[in-house]
Amino acid sequence: GQQLNQSPQSMFIQEGEDVSMNCTSSSIFNTWLWYKQEPGEGPVLLIALYKAGELTSNGRLTAQFGITRKDSFLNISASIPSDVGIYFCAGRDAGNNRKLIWGLGTSLAVNP
- Determine which residue in the list 11, 21, 23, 33 makes contact with another protein, applying CB under 8 A: 33
Task: Write the binding mask 35 to 74 for another protein: x where contact by CB under 8 A, - elsewhere.
Answer: -----xxxxxx--x--------------------------
Q: Which of 31, 56, 77, 107 binds another protein (CB under 8 A)?
A: 31
Q: Which of 13, 52, 84, 104 binds another protein (CB under 8 A)?
A: 104
94 binds another protein (CB under 8 A): no
What is 73-90 written as a DSSP string?
Answer: EEEE-S--GGG-EEEEEE
Strands (E), 19-105: 19-24, 29-37, 44-49, 55-58, 61-65, 71-76, 85-93, 96-102
The one-letter code for the residue type at 50 is Y
